[in-house]
């Protein structure tokens, strides 16, 4: 997994090791951009908040629909949500509110988001939090499941 923001380093590693080297991005805002020089994929915390949107962004890239993938990449304001307060508290609170996990509990010394943090989280969700539902609804109408073979 590559966690550098240095694209020159990333390119040199791929060049030196060959295209058979599988490299994943571990930096949220670089998940899509690191596919261009040869990245394999990415490890994404945002995928816990908007799984369908992140999967669809990757699928669009693989389908050579680069503009659509890029548009979706920029519509995911949820990256900022992850770091409103100490991660993973925001990343657990959102799926708990969505009913996808049973608890938003985090182990001490971490705490659940503060009232001020929750206000910021809600604002970011309002900005783009419906994105996952829109994609899931669209694909449900098409009879398609994420990750299911065509």
DSSP per residue, 73-95: HHT-THHHHHTSSSTTHHHHHHH
β-strand partners of 24: 41
**pLDDT averages per 10-residue partition of the chain, 150 residues:** 76 88 84 88 83 89 95 79 83 84 90 91 75 47 40
The residues, any chain, with a CB within 8 Å of residue 80's CB and separated by 6 or more, are 124
Task: Report the run of H or E that residue 137 belongs to, with start and end.
Answer: helix 131-141
Query: In this structure, what token pair is assigned to residue 41?
Result: 């994929």
Global pTM? 0.71
Bond before 68 cis per omega within 30 degrees: no
């Amino acid at each position: 997994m590559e966690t550098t923001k240095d694209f020159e380093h990333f390119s040199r590693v791929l060049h030196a090791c060959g295209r058979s080297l599988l490299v994943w991005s571990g930096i949220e805002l670089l998940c899509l951009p690191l596919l261009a020089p040869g990245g394999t994929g990415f490890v994404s915390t945002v995928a816990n908040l908007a799984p369908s949107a992140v999967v669809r962004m990757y699928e669009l890239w693989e389908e050579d629909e680069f503009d659509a993938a890029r548009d979706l990449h920029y519509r995911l304001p949820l990256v900022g949500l992850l770091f409103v307060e100490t991660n993973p508290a925001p990343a657990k609170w959102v799926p708990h509110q969505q009913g996808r996990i049973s608890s938003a509990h985090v182990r001490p010394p971490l705490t659940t988001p503060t009232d001020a943090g929750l206000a910021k989280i809600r604002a970011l969700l309002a900005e783009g939090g419906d994105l996952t539902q829109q994609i899931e609804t669209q694909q449900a109408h098409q009879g398609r499941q994420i990750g299911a073979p065509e």
